[in-house]
Amino acid sequence: MSTATLNKPESLDQPPLHAGEADGRIGLRANLRHTGALIRRNLLWIKKDPESMFDALLMPVVFTLLFVYVFGGSIGKAMGGGQDAYVQYVIPGMLAMMSMSIAQAVGTGFNEDFHKGIMDRFRSLPIGRGSVLFAKISVEIMRQLIAIAVLMLVAVLVGFDIESWPGLFAAVGLSVLFGSAVMWIFLVLGVTLKSPQSVQALGFLVMMPLQFGSSIFTPTQNMPGWLQNFTEYNPMSGLADAARGLMTTGHPVAHGLWVTLAWTVGLTVVMAPYAIYKFAKKS
C-alpha cells in the first residue's frame, strides 16, 4: 500500500499569491509553506484511508515473526548460538529492510497521483514543484518511523535486548537518512514509468538482490567470495552492520557507518535534482 493525496484539498484550492509567486518565482518561504500544506493534505488522506498504513503496521510484525520463529532456530544454531542469538542479529537487519521497503511506497503513490489527475491540478496552482516531492518524502518518513516503532515493539516481545538506547536512536536516524535517499530513486521511477504496477515490479527486482545479498538476515562468511565482495559495499549490509554495532555490543560500526553515509550522500546528490527536474518537465 502507499500514501496518496486528496482529490479536493481545502488548503490549496485557492492559495494566496505572494510577492514573487505571481511571476513564477517562488522563494524558500513560499516553498516551505506549500510543502507544509501538501504534508497536511497527505496526512488527511491517510486519515480517510487507514488501509494505506497496513504495510507500515503489518510488515514489521509479519517479517519479524517469520524470520525469528521459522528460520531463527536453524540460522542461530549455524551461527553458534540459538534463536535468542539470532534475534539479536536479525532485528537490526530488519531496521535496514524497513528503510528500503517503505521507500518503495513513495514511487507507487506518486505514480498513482499522475493517473488520478492530481498532478494536473497541481500544474494549475502557483506552487513550487519541489514542494510536492518534499511533502511526499516527509510523509513517507513519518510512515517509516511508525514502522520502526512497531518493529521495535515486536522485537522486545520476541526477546530482543536493547543494549544501548542512544545507539538505538542513532541507528533509527541512520535508517531514516538512508531511506529518504532511496525515496528519490522511487520518485524518479514514479515519474518515468507508466503504471504503479511497473514501479512496484521494478522496485521488487531492485530490492530483492540488495536485501538478500546482504548481511540483513544471515552472516556473509559462508557466502561465495564474489558475493561477499558485493555485500561488503552493499548499502543494506552497511546499514544493517552499523545498526548492529550501534544497538548491541561486539559488532564493529565504522565500516558499515561510512558505507551507509556514502550511499546516502551519493544518492541524494545525484537523484534529488534529477527527480525534481523530471517532475518539473512532466508537470
96: nearest Cα among 213, 223, 242, 221: 242
SS3 218: coil
Question: Whole-angstrom Cα distance, residue 175 to residue 183?
Answer: 12
pLDDT tens track of the chain, all 283 residues?
A: 444 443 444 444 434 444 344 335 666 777 788 888 888 888 888 888 888 788 889 999 999 999 999 888 888 888 877 888 899 999 999 999 988 888 888 888 888 877 777 776 766 666 776 788 888 899 999 999 999 999 999 999 999 998 889 999 999 999 999 999 999 999 999 889 888 889 888 988 888 889 999 999 999 888 898 999 999 999 999 999 999 999 987 778 999 999 999 999 999 999 999 998 888 887 6
CB 169 within 8 A of CB 246: no
CB 150 within 8 A of CB 115: no
SS3 194: coil
- Residue 243, C-alpha cell as written in the block: 545498526
Question: Whole-angstrom Cα distance, residue 107 to residue 198?
Answer: 10
Residue type, 206: V
pTM for this entry: 0.84
Question: Whole-angstrom Cα distance, residue 23 to residue 216?
Answer: 50
| Domain spans, the chain | 28-282
Instruction: Map grid coordinates 514509468 to a residue.
Output: 193
